[in-house]
Every structure is written in C-alpha cells, then in structure tokens.
Amino acid sequence: MRLKKKMGLVELGQHTGLSPALLSKIERGRLVPTLPTLLRIALVFSVGLEHFFTEPSRRPTLAVVRRSERKRFPERLGDADPAYYFESLDFPALERVMNAYYVEFEDRQRRSRPHQHAGEEFIYVIEGKVTVGVGEDTHTLDTGDAIYFESTVPHWYQCDSRKNACAVVVTSTDGRLR
C-alpha cells in the first residue's frame, strides 16, 4: 500500500508517529505489529484492520461502529500531553473514500502540531469552541459551526473553550470524494 501511494518510510512515519525503522521491520516481516500500531497504519491508508486479515472478496461494504468498540488515541503516539484525542468512527469499513473521527480537544493552552495530508477535511464542532489554523488563516468555530478545506495545506487545531471541546472530523482519502 505504501508503494502504491508512492510514500516513503519517513513520510509514513510522520503520518503514523512510528519510526521508519519500525515500519521497515514490519514490512519485511521481522516484527509483528500490535493492533494499535496496525490501526495507525490502517488509518493512513484508509483501510480497516480487516484489510490485513480478510480476503478481498469478503470485505464489507457496510460497517456499524458501536461506541464501546472504538479505541481512543492521542494526537501523536506516545505523547503524554496531547492537544487532542481521536477515535475512528469508520474503522471496519474497507476501501473507503473518506475517514470519520470523533475528536476531543483537551487543553485550552495546547495547539496541535501543524500537519498536512492528501485530500480534503471537514470539521463540525459538536460542543465547545475550536480554533482551526489553515495556512496563514485562523478560524474560530463555535458549537454547530463547520469548516471545509484542502488538507494539503498545513493546518492545526486548538481548544478555545473553558471546558473540553469535541467535533466530528471527516477527511477524504484521495483528494476528492467520488
């Protein structure tokens, strides 16, 4: 999948928070990844964990994710004080053209690291206030507000509420939704 996307190990490492050396060992079969590690890789390539365990003809076209099934991950793997936590809302759906996440922005003082990725991004604020920086522009979103932008532009997030904020974030996987 990495080679199909013309992505190097260093770039994959930046997207997953995993070291290029670890990713190389996984690719060469020298190391069996844990499920959280495999999920981080799967999220980058917009596939569910089942992608690694099922035959292509048996892949689901419909997926239901129960709240109790979701796993919570920090902004960056191993970050003791992340700006946000996210949960994949669509991880069992395979070969999807978008990814949906539930995101909790934890700390008013912490800004996420700037990042960029192929495709587009949509954010809908469920509760609280979130500031989103896209390139040189900054936009503060209140409860019920939304933003849509090209995610190839470096962007970041920050909670601007007295309490935690939460949002749904949807990203496209290959530039345009079909």
- pTM score, whole prediction: 0.67
pLDDT digits (tens, 9 = 90+) for 23-64: 999 888 888 888 888 888 888 887 777 777 776 655 556 788
1 located within any domain: no
4 located within any domain: no
**Burial degree of 110 (CB within 10 A; 0-12, 13-18, 19+):** middle
Place of tokens 């930046």: 14
Indicate the range of 77-81, 82-86, 128-132 predicted with least confidence: 77-81
Confidence of residue 149 (pLDDT cuts 50, 70, 90): very high
3 located within any domain: no
Higher pLDDT, residue 130 or 95: 130
- Residues whose CB falls within 8 Å of the CB of residue 107, separated by 6 or more in sequence, listed in order: 81, 83, 159
Task: Please give the tally of structural domains in the chain.
Answer: 1
pLDDT given for residue 59 in this prediction: 56
pLDDT digits (tens, 9 = 90+) for 103-144: 999 877 788 989 988 889 999 999 999 999 999 999 999 999
54 located within any domain: yes
Domain enclosing residue 161, as ranges: 9-172
The CATH number for 104's domain is 2.60.120.10
Query: Which helix or strand (DSSP H or E) is residue 98 part of?
Result: strand 98-105
Higher pLDDT, residue 7 or 125: 125
Confidence of residue 177 (pLDDT cuts 50, 70, 90): very low
2 located within any domain: no
Confidence of residue 175 (pLDDT cuts 50, 70, 90): very low
153 located within any domain: yes
Indicate the range of 75-79, 81-85, 142-146, 153-157 predicted with least confidence: 75-79
**pLDDT at residue 176 is higher than 60:** no
**pLDDT at residue 1 is higher than 90:** no
Quick one: average pLDDT of 136-155?
Answer: 96
Higher pLDDT, residue 13 or 131: 131
Q: Name which of 133, 139, 136, 143 is nearest 163 in CA terms.
A: 143
